[in-house]
Amino acid sequence: MTKMSAYSAKIPDEKGHIAYSEEEDGVWRDLYAAQELPVHRHMAEPYLRGLKVLDLPHDRVPQCNEVSERLRGLTGWQVAPVPALIGFGRFFGMLADKNFPAASFIRSRKDFDYIEEPDIFHEIFGHTPLLADPRIARVSQAIGKAGLKAEVKDYSWLIRLYWFSIEFGLLQQGQGVKALGSGLASSPTELAYSVNSEVPERREFNLLDVLRTPYRIDIHQPVYFVIQSIEDLEEMSERDLLADVRVAQSMGLFAPTYPEKAVS
Model confidence over 21-34: pLDDT tens digits? 999 999 999 999 99
Q: Is 58 annotated as a binding residue?
A: no
Contacts of 148 (CB under 8 A, 6+ apart): 92, 93, 96
pLDDT, mean of residues 143-162? 98
pLDDT, mean of residues 45-66? 97
Q: Is the pLDDT of residue 1 over 50?
A: no
User: What pLDDT does residue 262 have?
Assistant: 52
Domains defined along the chain, listed by start:
22-249 (1.10.800.10)
Say how far apart CA 128 and CA 71 lie, in whole Å.
8
User: What pLDDT does residue 83 have?
Assistant: 76
pLDDT, mean of residues 183-208? 97
- Work out the pLDDT band at 4, boundaries 50, 70, 90: low
Model confidence pLDDT, tens digit, residues 123-142: 999 999 999 999 999 999 99
pLDDT above 90 coverage of the chain, percent: 89
User: What pLDDT does residue 67 have?
Assistant: 98
User: What pLDDT does residue 261 have?
Assistant: 74
pLDDT, mean of residues 44-73? 97
Q: Is the pLDDT of residue 51 over 50?
A: yes
- Work out the pLDDT band at 84, boundaries 50, 70, 90: low
Q: Is 167 annotated as a binding residue?
A: yes
Q: Is the pLDDT of residue 263 over 60?
A: no
Contact 129, 71 (CB under 8 A): no
User: What pLDDT does residue 264 have?
Assistant: 43
More confident residue, 116 or 152: 152
Closest-CA residue to 140 (of 153, 152, 119, 126)? 126
Model confidence pLDDT, tens digit, residues 166-175: 999 999 999 9
User: What pLDDT does residue 22 have?
Assistant: 98
- Work out the pLDDT band at 114, boundaries 50, 70, 90: confident
User: What pLDDT does residue 91 have?
Assistant: 97
Q: Is 17 annotated as a binding residue?
A: no
pLDDT, mean of residues 161-168? 98
Q: Is the pLDDT of residue 216 over 50?
A: yes
Length of the chain: 264
Q: Is the pLDDT of residue 144 over 80?
A: yes
Cβ burial 151-169 (10 Å sphere, 16+ → b, else e)? eeebbebbbbbbbbbbbbb
Say how far apart CA 20 and CA 26 lie, in whole Å.
10
Q: Is the pLDDT of residue 44 over 50?
A: yes
User: What's the whole-number average pLDDT of the chain?
Assistant: 95
Contacts of 172 (CB under 8 A, 6+ apart): 226, 227, 228, 229
pLDDT, mean of residues 248-254? 98
